[in-house]
Amino acid sequence: MIIKNKLLNLGFGNFIQTDEVLAILNPSSSIIKKLISSCKNEQGIKDEKTGKEKGVFDFTNGRKVRSVVYCTYGRIYLSYLLPETLINSVCS
């Protein structure tokens, strides 16, 4: 359930709009690790339609990555918060 104009807290004062979120994932699977590495290669490339920057944005402040937020335009946000915590904040 995605609510428009709501912000999702990814930790350490970093927020994104929930209408950009496509999936909140656990980073332990090899497919997600490959997705993160492929998006790191696209870092700095802008989307042709929107002009928004693609890539990986790390909001962990050096902590262990516990969730991966996959968003529109090929953006990936890394967070130290558990996926369940992020999902509960979106749904509440």
Q: What is the pTM of this model?
A: 0.87
Asked whether 7 and 14 are in contact (CB, 8 A), the reply is no
43-53 pLDDT tens trace: 888 888 878 88
pLDDT tens, position by position, 25-49: 999 999 999 999 998 888 888 888 8
- Mean predicted confidence (pLDDT) in 3-22: 88
- Does pLDDT of 3 surpass 70? no
Count CB-CB contacts under 10 A for residue 75. 21
d(CA 9, CA 90): 9
